[in-house]
Structure 1
Amino acid sequence: AYMVTKNTGYVKLNRFAATSMTEFHKAVDSLKQNGFENLILDLRGNGGGYLKTAISLADEFLEAGQMVVYTEGTHQPRESYRATDKGSFSTGRVIVMVDEGSASASEIVSGAIQDWDRGIIVGRRSFGKGLVQRPFNLPDGSMVRLTVAHYYTPAGRCIQKSYTKGAEDYAEDLLHRYNNGELMNADSIHFPDSLKYETLTKKRTVYGGGGIMPDVFIPLDTTKKFTEYYRKMSRKGIIYQYLVAYMDKNREEIKQKFPDFTTFKTDFKVDDKMFAGIKAASEKKEIEPKDSTEYEDSKNDIELLVRALLARDIWNTSEFYEVINEKDEGLKTAVEIISDKKKYQKHFKN
């Protein structure tokens, strides 16, 4: 967690684990010490986790008694989960960032916040995973999981995307979204009127049909393509391994040269010697750029990752994200909206 502006905090949640609420409260407490009033909650790429954690997180933003999610199945009666006491963050502006990698618990939280008009959802349509499954043990010791119900947002939208066209079509859903242009252009997304729903307080139109549709669409950045050289280095952990050895030798020198994170973020540059060291380390693993152009095209991404990994080594994960998010266009859009009260409020109108 860190402050993206003087009064807006940023929290990245990678999963909904048993310890996530403790981590969230710790993050919010640290932001409060820096005068935070508004929050950007980044759930991009968060594939889910514990239902209990999702309900507890949504509870932080909602009023007591407001529904978070409900489950219902053909032979399973409706079961509702509601917010309890007033949450620790039930007044400031909220933006939740999602994408096609946000699933399950992420969709429960973003769906509840959207349906109660508690915040704005920014990004791309989420994955669409909302099945309640029950394990049944078989005589041979194996187990089968049967779907007994679906998750629904407070307004009645089914989170689960359709699987009526078969397993292959379901498995290739994200590929279909890409090919149909949905990841690049909001105009490529079409929903029938039967999938229209209304939010519960402002009566805005939102859509069902699987996944959570954002209020503000952020296209997939197709101009941001990593080179094959950089991809191979990342997959093999070359840069990380190089930096482990590098920091063993240079940690104290770097700490003296950059006594605080602000100085490091502003002044640290990857020099030619470090670039050469990383290149040599990749060559030992038989990973080489196909030509000098590919190498030069890789250097900005290498430098950004080096700076982020060093920041995490010397300070913490918050500093890692503060560096790695420097080139994040989606986050820049979220910051622009949440920083301007008029821009923020206009998204609550149909």
Structure 2
Amino acid sequence: MQKGTGRNIFVAATYAATLLLGLILGQNYVDQQSNNPGSSLVPIGLSDNSYKIQQVLDLLSNTYVDSLNLDSLQNGAINHIVAHLDPYSSYLLPNESKAQSEALEGTFEGIGLEFFNLHDTLMVVGVIGGGPAEKAGLKVGDRILRIDSTYVSGRKIAQNTVDKMVRGKKGSTVAIYVARDNDIKKEPFKVIRDQINVSSIDVSYLIKPTIGYVRIRRFGLKTAEDFKATIKELKKQGAQSLILDLRDNGGGYFHIAIRLASEFFKDRKMLVYTEGAHENKREYYSEGEGEYTDGKLVVLINDGTASASEIVAGAVQDWDRATVVGQRSYGKGIVQEQFDFLDGSRVNLSISRYYTPLGRSIQKKYTANWSNMIDYASMYRGLWLLDTTFANAQVYKTLAGRELFSGGGIDPDIKISVDSNTLSLLYQEIVKSSYLEQFVYERFTKQLPAYSIENFIQGYHLPQAEYDKFILYLKDRDIIVNERRSKDLLKLIQSDIEAIVGRYYFGREAYFKVKNRRDEYVRRAIELLMPPVKNTVET
């Protein structure tokens, strides 16, 4: 399915129940869809009560004691019904639908600037290379004082408000007033908005002389073609084996996941099949002659690996093409379809389940919590209970004899233990507070480090004295870290701060390169891929 069909199938597990939408909107909805030939929604099997919700809306509109916003009422009704279908089906308002499309398509109209709100001052912490902001002369470290006629310094302004100011129609101009190195620039930087393309590949590089590493954030519209180009470049640089990092990849477009998985097979292989109550079984195959068909492959997953990324992991695991390393994946095995409305809103609806080549369903068991419609008080209390264990796990065997399981996600071939420190409430509080970033931007941005990017990645380590200052920094902000917890969190927080410093000075890729230095998943993957050491005997 390609962009423009109006019905992009993608996995992220979401949707199911076309009829209920007709019940919500009644004949007005049907009339609207009749003018939209790209839609497949039709009023099939309507009962005598089919228009009850529309009748209620009409009743409220014409009779209720106060004036009402009918759009809000309709949105609420749709959201209520769709949210109760399964854990993933959803109704998106126009702005939410647009944001989802931009994230998956990897493009938006803006200026290519990333900022951080440091003490109510917008500090530039990232500039997209070759983008409008860089072309206009803006730099990392600039402090934004004013955008057009609106002063933003010293004021509590929400990020979405700033986004609306800087984003706009391609070709339009926005004036950015900044302070640089304590010098307030009198003249603004006039930035001409343009199309901004953001790759879904976070980083790709040779992590060892013969081992390539690629981390994919999501399966967007251009992910497959970007991945193919990336593999070609890594092979030119000497890559003979590959680490594909799908950790925290929540999914994306279904057809893109299939195209990317095809790159690992030289012949035609079934990668996944789908089936649903209203969807006949459909099988999807690799195209053959992939770009990376012979080298060793390790795929990294964790509990944030879901949907489209689980399709890729499941396919290469079922065909014995890769070793899967990490933690059990999320377990989101439902195919979703997007249904767009004329006002820009959208319903993401579950239409079928997907199965790996061996026939495994990795969908996590979920239980509805709204069977008793009379009990309105509890209706929104934990709508869905997600099972964290393998549900009715069935054993499957690959051609190589490996035992794999269905239910509850992709179980890795090699398990990595969870670092309990990352799950601690204390660490989660520190991360959510943004004090890590604040500490870095207050202390480490005064002057450029005396390192090249290569030397920084290989050799920079946060001194113990700076770590101790960070612990005191937290104390001053009412986050108390005792001596024992300080020792427990030392390596984790050191790595976080080092990575944030790297990102500030050397860009997004440096962040991941620094984090990978102490990453147990990556260490284990390298261990699997490194060629064996040959023992030589002198005679």
Could you say whether these structures have the same fold, taking a TM-score greater than 0.5 normalized by the shorter chain as the test?
yes
Q: In the TM superposition, what whole-angstrom CA distance separates every residue of 1:186-221 from its partner, at most 9, and x where no partner exists? A: xxx7976xx22232x435332222422222222323
How many pairs align?
A: 318
Distance of 1:214 and 1:297 partners within structure 2:
27
Q: Residue in 2 aligned with 1:265?
A: 458
Tell me the amino acid that sits aligned with residue 524 of structure 2: T
Identify if the C-alpha distance between structure 1 residues 302 and 17 changes in structure 2 by more than 3 Å, giving closer, same or farther.
same
Q: Residue in 2 aligned with 1:53?
A: 256
Tell me the amino acid that sits aligned with residue 262 of structure 1: N
- Identical aligned pairs, as a percentage? 32
Question: Is there any run of 5+ residues in structure 2 with no aligned partner, and where?
Answer: 1-203, 370-381, 534-539
Question: Are 1:130 and 2:337 counterparts?
Answer: no
Question: Are 1:291 and 2:489 counterparts?
Answer: no
Distance of 2:285 and 2:485 partners within structure 1:
53
Q: Residue in 1 aligned with 2:519?
A: 328
Aligned 1:310-349 pairs, distance under 5 A: 310-340=501-531
Q: In the TM superposition, what whole-angstrom CA distance separates every residue of 1:135-187 from its partner, at most 9, and x where no partner exists? A: 6799xx99766543210111211232333x5457963423xx4xxxxxxxxxx
Identify if the C-alpha distance between structure 1 residues 191 and 328 changes in structure 2 by more than 3 Å, giving closer, same or farther.
farther
Distance of 1:274 and 1:298 partners within structure 2:
10
Shift of 1:80: 1.7
The farther-off stretch of 330-339 and 297-306 is 297-306
Q: Which has the higher helix share?
A: 1
Q: Residue in 1 aligned with 2:409?
A: 211
Shift of 1:341: 6.8
Aligned 1:15-34 pairs, distance under 5 A: 15-34=218-237
Shift of 1:91: 0.8
8 Å CA contact 1:134, 1:147 repeated in 2: yes
Shift of 1:86: 1.0
Distance of 1:241 and 1:109 partners within structure 2:
37
Q: Residue in 1 aligned with 2:318?
A: 115
1:150 to 334, 342, 353: 353
Q: In the TM superposition, what whole-angstrom CA distance separates every residue of 1:230-279 from its partner, at most 9, and x where no partner exists? A: 4333211112123234454212xx1xx21242355314433635753x45
Q: In the TM superposition, what whole-angstrom CA distance separates every residue of 1:263-315 from its partner, at most 9, and x where no partner exists? A: 55314433635753x4565456x233243444454443332112111222222
Question: Are 1:236 and 2:433 counterparts?
Answer: yes
RMSD (Å), alpha carbons: 3.3
The farther-off stretch of 46-55 and 312-321 is 312-321
Q: In the TM superposition, what whole-angstrom CA distance separates every residue of 1:37-70 from its partner, at most 9, and x where no partner exists? A: 1011111221111112211210111234211211
- SS at the partner of 2:208? coil
Distance of 1:126 and 1:227 partners within structure 2:
20
Distance of 1:29 and 1:104 partners within structure 2:
26
Distance of 1:239 and 1:290 partners within structure 2:
14
Tell me the amino acid that sits aligned with residue 302 of structure 1: I
- SS at the partner of 2:234? helix
Aligned 1:9-88 pairs, distance under 5 A: 9-88=212-291
Identify if the C-alpha distance between structure 1 residues 143 and 115 changes in structure 2 by more than 3 Å, giving closer, same or farther.
same
Return the TM-score normalized by structure 2. Answer: 0.52
Distance of 2:435 and 2:305 partners within structure 1:
28
